[in-house]
Structure 1
Amino acid sequence: MDSRCILIKDFQEKQRQWFAKLYVIEVTRIFDPTPRTKAYRRLLFADDQNDTIQGIIYQQDLAFIGEIFKLQTSYYVGGAYISKIQDSRHQMGTTPLQLTFDKRSFIQPAASPLPMSLPTYFPLTSFWDLDQYQGKDDQRLNIMCIVIQALPQRLIAGAKPSIIQEFIVVNEEQRPLILTLWEPFVDNEGAQLLQIAHTYPIVVILRPIVTTFYGISLRTKGSTNILLDPPFPQISTLAEWIEENKNYIDKIKAQKLYEKANQKIKPPPEKDIRQISQILGAYILPKDFWIKGTIQITNSCQHFYIASCADCGCTTNAPMDFEFSCHNCNKSQTKPIPKARLFVQISDDSAHLDAFVQDSYAENIIGLTAT
């Protein structure tokens, strides 16, 4: 049979009459149907050249073949429909193609062991390298971390309100971050982590997104997978680190070292720092960029604070002495608190630009707190 098999690199969109020997390196849980999607299970396969390609089984075929693929097992497969992945953010493997299996697909066990150990297919990214992935939602990275605390669930208002579940995560690199689980991870992986967060579980997060909402933070996307019991050899070392650093973990929680104002940010290489004139002259303003300059307060008559929600920090136009309902976090009958805010000018040798700074960053500039 091996002589009739092709490699992943030779797959073509809508190709027919093909056979391949593939190794199962990832099997997700079955995701429940929603008003917009059917139930499905995702898979990730590798071949003898260590290229990878994702697969999917939809609702109507789950009863027939939903449990047929076993992790770290090889199969001869054929006849699955090959389609192109239109959005690179949904790509799990090295190849921008997807195999859709149904009950007619050829699936036969093979007797070949994995060419590499399972963790080798999922190289781990350092916490201190996360800065370079800001705004790059299509990049595939993997994180091993310890969940040390669960934050209260929040409802994000909008045209389609969503519930999110946030956790504090850290590893031996001592860069605590917030991990945000969006639906459909809240009711499954999120619920499981809520139950065991006090035990400091070690998890591997495959293909999260790096965001700047909380400084540097992580969140799930459609192709994310959360391994609650990862078969990685680094687990034992990280478990020892937990036992030796419980005082530091308590300090993270007590001092909220994961919050944006308390985070340590790694500056970029000098070559990645832009001149202000380059930013101002850009046809399309970059989403994230670094500049280096001198800060000046050019208007001393400005208000140095703004009213904000005491729970979520969202700004509000409510008077400081009135109770109001926050439309961002749905907190009702609460009084706003002052949040420091400054309008400043940042200058370098090439130009200057106007900016505003808030929270502890503003307080550090003027040497005063908002309260």
Structure 2
Amino acid sequence: MQASTMDRDQWQILDITPCLKKKWTVLIQVLEPGHKEDSKVGGKFRKLLLVDSQGTQVTGMIYTNHVKFFENSLMAYKRYHVSNAVLKATEPKFRLSSYVYSWTFNTNTLVEEYPESVPPPLQCQFQFTPFSELHKHAETETYQCVRGVVIKCFPTDVISQEPDLKTKKYVIIVNEEKKPVILSLWNSIEKNEGRLLDQICETGPLIFAMRVKVTTFNGLSLSTRMGSAIMINPPVTEDLQLQKWYNKNKTELKELLQKKAYKDTEILLPYPEEKDIVPIAKAIANFKYRKATWIRGRLRLPTQDRSFSHTPCSNCLKSVEADMNWKIKCQSCKMDSEIQVILRATVDIDDGTASIRVCISNPDIQKFIPFTPNAVKEAEDSGKDMHDLIAASIQTMSVVGFIRSSETTYNQQSTTRISIVKAHKVTNNAFLASTVAAETQGSKQPHTLGQGTSKEEATQTHTSNNTYPAAIGNEATQELKHPPTVSEGTSKGEPPSEGALKRKHPQSEAYKETESLDGKTPRETKKIK
């Protein structure tokens, strides 16, 4: 096969344009083989990413009946001679390099496998976001690329059955920063890469998670979307390998797993740098484009329209009317479970530029009040009004919090919900007072929570020695159909258990991110009199 190509002119991807009035052949390597997917207009398609020896990348597309023709070809990391694919101009927002065309494969496209036992290192360069900077991209449409090793795979969860089958798998990934993060693999990626990872997880496989969404589910996590790709053990240069590091740090990584560090917001969302904290007025204005951000301010407890405690299923966090010591068969997640007591409150945070109303729950709420969840629950069950006691305990408190804005629609009315993902208690009120004064002076006029008009700040990523196509995705710019109102949000959900968890797809309207259950007991607690 190799000999048969020696009599042809060999070209590079950048050479292939409509102006080239002759037959052509390019030696390419498959970066991302893609999967057979359902098209919105009917039929199947497969999307690939290819690279040549110069590092130039091109998107390959295979449609309808041609998908089956190539099902055993164009496999990950292998090299092929490709001749005479159909060129199509690519929209600027979808371009991965300076090359402006994509290649469409059909049964007339000649694809010849290059004979070699081991593929060479990929010639393209890569750009990855450090785990410590993922929070800057949370709940945006600017998808990120990360590199790490897989240290745990959870069982596959079937979200819905045929004909609209949806499946999900959680895996835990970690890199040299030692901040384990949950990565959710959905549907075709779960079926292919997810099941392969199940088989090789014990070896600590290297993965490149390309174009994944950063979410505030479980504090901070990653999730595949349409257009994402998972590269498993890619052939790359030594500087991008992690096997030696993994072998050296196995014991510590095992301890991080045992501590469930992947759901520990103290690790995932530590106290931010000063430059990452945004005045509340600016945060409100930016909610249209940036749904999650750091703010700070003084706390105040308004009148509550519900109790401070509630009793959800400890597995799926669906509220259940039950006693604290009950063991139940949950009607929502269909699993044997226990009743968990959750503390929650609606609080106002004010920094002088604006005030914002958010929902806070344990474990964060327990940093600000001296009562345990069980104590509050027992007091409320006995008919005691806890508002004044809790208000008195937080009236001198200040907070630096990572908040998330989400929108829900009910009866054609849009409501904005704000929740605290992570709260850090501020003890230096003198520093806070000076900061608030500076922010107030810098604000031209007072703000209230409403529609934002400013653009999201530029994406910042840590770059290795190589540059891969950076985060791909468009920020939402559509106007809200209904002015948002302020109401309580919900906080984070319990990370996956070993059993199959029943949750909705994050892209579904029915999907709800629920409150964290991994509460911590305050250093001091008071009896409620």
TM-score, normalising length: structure 2: 0.57
Distance 1:188 1:108 in 2: 24
Residue pair 2:29, 2:80 contacting (<8 A) in 1 also: no
Distance 2:13 2:244 in 1: 44
Relative to 1, partners in 2 of residues 1:298 and 1:23: Cα closer, same or farther, differing over 3 Å?
A: farther
- The residue that corresponds to 1:170 in the other structure is 174
Q: Which whole-Å CA distance do the structure 1 matches of 2:297 and 2:125 have between them? A: 42
Paired residues, number: 356
How far the C-alpha of 1:299 sits from its partner, in A, is 4.5
Deviations 1:28-80 (A, max 9, x none): 44634659664544322346774422112235224545555574647464351
The secondary structure found in structure 1 opposite 2:128 is coil
Q: Which residue in the other structure is 1:80 paired with?
A: 86
Please tell me the residue identity of whatever aligns with 1:198. E
Matched with 1:113 is none
Rounded to whole Å, the distance in 2 between the matches of 1:311 and 1:48 is 50
Quote the residue 1:195 is aligned against. Answer: 199
Tell me the alpha carbon deviations over residues 66-103 of structure 1, each in whole angstroms, 9 at most, x when there is no partner: 555574647464351515469x6xx5833675322101
Q: Provide the secondary structure at the position in 1 that maps to 2:261.
A: coil
Q: Which residue of 2 aligns with 1:337?
A: 340
Selected match of 2:211 from 207, 210, 231? 207
Q: In structure 2, do the counterparts of structure 1 residues 300 and 60 end up closer, same or farther at CA, with 3 Å as the change threshold?
A: closer
Of 27-36 and 165-174, deviating more is: 27-36
**Corresponding position of 2:363:** 360
Q: Could you tell me the percent identity over the aligned residues?
A: 23
1:126 aligns with 2:127: no
CA distance in 1, matches of 2:32, 2:12: 26
Change (3 A) 1:283 1:122: closer
Rounded to whole Å, the distance in 2 between the matches of 1:273 and 1:101 is 49
One-letter amino acid of the counterpart of residue 104, structure 1: N
Instruction: Show the counterpart of 2:154.
Output: 151
Q: How far 1:237 moved relative to its partner? A: 5.7
Gaps of 5+ in 2: 1-7, 115-119, 375-529
Q: Out of 37, 40, 48, which is 1:43 matched to?
A: 48
**By how many angstroms is 1:2 displaced?**
6.3
Deviation at residue 164 of structure 1 after TM alignment = 1.1
Matched, 1:351 2:354: yes
Contact 2:57 2:96 in 1 (8 A): yes
- Does 352-361 or 269-278 show the bigger shift? 269-278
Cα contact 1:28–1:41 (8 A) shared by 2:
no
Distance change >3 Å, CA 325–CA 283, structure 1 → 2: closer
Q: Cα gap change, 1:50/1:18 in structure 2, threshold over 3 Å: closer, same or farther?
A: farther
Deviation at 1:23, TM superposition (A): 5.0
Deviations 1:95-147 (A, max 9, x none): 6753221012366799xxxxx95164333332223223323434452x22121
Instruction: Please state whether the residue corresponding to 1:208 is helix, strand or coil.
Output: strand
Matching of residue 238 in structure 1 with residue 242 in structure 2 = yes
SS in 2 for 1:247: helix
Partner secondary structure for residue 135 of structure 2: helix
SS at 2:243 equivalent? helix
Q: Deviations over 1:168-188 (max 9, x none)?
A: 111121111001111012222
Measure, in 1, the Cα distance between the counterparts of 2:360 and 2:156. 28
Q: CA deviation at 1:19?
A: 6.7
CA distances 1:330-361 after superposition (whole Å, capped 9, x unpaired): 23454431122121111102121111111311
Let me know the Cα RMSD of the aligned residues. 4.0
Alignment map for 1:1-371 (pairs within 5 Å): 7=14, 22=26, 24-29=28-33, 31-32=35-36, 38-46=43-51, 50-62=55-67, 64-67=69-72, 69=74, 71=77, 73=79, 75=81, 77-82=83-88, 84=90, 91=94, 93-94=96-97, 98-105=102-109, 118=122, 120-139=124-143, 141=145, 143-156=146-159, 162-234=166-238, 238-265=242-269, 270-280=274-284, 284=288, 286-299=290-303, 303-312=307-316, 314-316=317-319, 318-321=320-323, 323=328, 325-327=330-332, 330-332=333-335, 334-371=337-374
Question: What is the DSSP-based 3-state SS (H/G/I as helix, E as strand, rest coil) of the residue aligned with 1:366?
Answer: coil
User: For residue 246 of structure 1, what is the amino acid of its counterpart?
Assistant: K
- Structure 1 residues 52, 261: CA separation in 2 closer, same or farther (over 3 Å shift)? same
Alignment partners' CA distance in 2, 1:23 and 1:139:
30
Higher relative contact order (CA 8 A, sep 6+): 2
**Distance in 1 between residues matched to 2:372 and 2:82, nearest whole Å:** 66
Question: Normalized against structure 1, the TM-score is what?
Answer: 0.78
CA deviation string 1:213-256 (max 9, x = no partner): 12221111222222222212348962222232223212212211
- Call closer, same or farther: CA 1:35–1:133 in 2, change over 3 Å: closer
Contact 1:22 1:46 in 2 (8 A): no
Task: Indicate conservation of the 8 Å contact 2:136/2:293, yes or no.
Answer: no
Q: Give me the whole-angstrom Cα distance separating, in 2, the residues matched to 1:18 and 1:370.
A: 75
Which stretches in structure 1 are left out of the alignment for 5+ residues?
Answer: 111-115
8 Å CA contact 1:256–1:262 kept in 2: the answer is no
Q: Distance in 1 between matches of 2:100 and 2:292?
A: 26
Query: Retained in 1: the 8 A contact 2:12–2:52?
Result: no
Once residues 208 and 16 of structure 1 are traced to their aligned partners in structure 2, the CA distance between those partners, rounded to angstroms, is 36
Cα 1:92–1:223, aligned 2, differ >3 Å: closer, same or farther? farther
Whole-Å separation in 2 of the counterparts to 1:63 and 1:264:
43
How far residue 319 of structure 1 moved from its aligned partner, in angstroms, is 0.4
Larger radius of gyration: 2
